[in-house]
Amino acid sequence: MRRLSNQEDASAARTPELHALRPDLLVLDLKFLTAFRTTNKHVETLLKTEITGWTPELTQTPTIYYRSTATGLKAPDSSFGLFDKTRPTAEEFPMAAQNSPESLASPPGRESLDTGSFRFSCRPENPCFNRCCHNPDLELYPYDIVRLCSNLGMTSDVFLKTYTHNLKRSNPCFPSVMLTMSRNSGHPCPFLSESGCRVYADRPDACRMFPLERGVSVTPFSDEEPREEYWLQRVPYCLGHGIREESTVAQWVREQGLQPYNRMGELWAEMSLLFRRNPWGPEGSEGRIFRMAFMVCYNADQFRNFVTGTSFLQRYRLHDAWEERITTSNEHLLEFGFDWLKHFMFNVKPRLFTPA
């Protein structure tokens, strides 16, 4: 899913350096982390815990490009990465004016599906079956990792270290977590077997959405309902178009089990937009607040330990049954984490808890 913003000034998120975070440095040692926030020039210490950290490594600025969902196609004439379509200036990126959120025009190579239907089927008898599972440029979002860890019976720490690497892409202030492909011939997805996808029931958003792509316009700190649009994308090697009876977007969303992915994706889109404001302070991506945000978004096991193993629950009273929910459900924990980050970092009134 791509997030479209009508509120954000991308120039505020510019940073002079871009870092690539090496996956082998993600889970090396525990560092003592103090969670704090600054209010009216007063630093208030809120919580203390131990958290796994990493060492950013300075690298060359990566190419910023428009990423086609699950296809690995790259169009260097466009500036927007999946999930991070904000409005840069026309001077920064020439495509910005053509893809402005106000117009919601179809991105290059895509057809709008606002009112239309489409015909598509991915099945083993297709000559191209599993072609898209080789060397894809696949970004994982927080809810993707929740589902994959559950499917594999794996902790977040182990999953991140085994299957992912981090890159700075279209969001200059927060890394994208990318699925690391196998080193076998053709660089297949690590979850591809001879019989197909072995995590199919919990496959990532990009995989189940294809050949559609979803754009969402979100307004931070607002009760407005997100505005969405779907596009149909075509890639040369995919022969699934024109097969089966016509489908509507609503049918595809239902058949592919996209409802929870769309809901959690909207919550993540708002967080991703807020991270573009570079709220990390002088410590930047090496600092405590940044590590805290990364933990909440991508490491459910560490975040749960943080919540239950510190004075957190004494400082925050969770509403209704949320204390039980976050101890048993990583999906609920992630939703709670987004709510807490908005309060902790931006002093937004929370929905799911009350500060003690």
Query: Could you tell me if 67 and 81 are in contact, meaning their C-beta atoms sit under 8 angstroms apart?
Result: yes
Query: Could you tell me if 215 and 6 are in contact, meaning their C-beta atoms sit under 8 angstroms apart?
Result: no
Domain ranges of the chain: 22-55+280-355, 66-272
Per-residue pLDDT of the chain (356 residues; tens, 9 = 90+): 654 443 333 333 322 222 232 222 222 222 222 333 333 333 333 333 333 333 333 222 222 222 223 333 333 222 222 233 333 333 332 222 233 333 345 566 678 887 678 999 998 889 999 999 999 999 999 999 999 999 999 999 999 999 999 998 888 899 999 999 999 999 999 999 988 899 999 999 999 999 999 988 888 888 888 888 899 988 888 999 988 778 999 999 999 999 999 999 999 999 999 999 999 988 888 899 999 999 999 999 999 999 999 999 999 999 999 999 999 999 999 999 999 999 999 999 999 999 98
pLDDT at 108: 65
Query: Could you tell me if 31 and 53 are in contact, meaning their C-beta atoms sit under 8 angstroms apart?
Result: yes
Alpha-carbon gap, residue 28 to 25, rounded angstroms: 6
**pLDDT tens digits, residue range 259-279?**
999 999 999 999 999 999 999
Query: Could you tell me if 134 and 127 are in contact, meaning their C-beta atoms sit under 8 angstroms apart?
Result: no
Instruction: Note the pTM of the prediction, 2 decimals.
Output: 0.72
**pLDDT tens digits, residue range 114-124?**
767 899 999 88
**pLDDT tens digits, residue range 147-162?**
999 999 999 999 999 9
Alpha-carbon gap, residue 258 to 252, rounded angstroms: 8
User: Half-sphere exposure of 228 toward its Cβ, with a 13 Å CA cutoff?
Assistant: 17
Q: Do you find a cis peptide bond into 211, omega within 30 degrees of 0?
A: yes
**Ordered DSSP codes for 272-301:** HHHHTT-TTGGGGGGSHHHHHHHHHHH-HH
Alpha-carbon gap, residue 247 to 116, rounded angstroms: 9
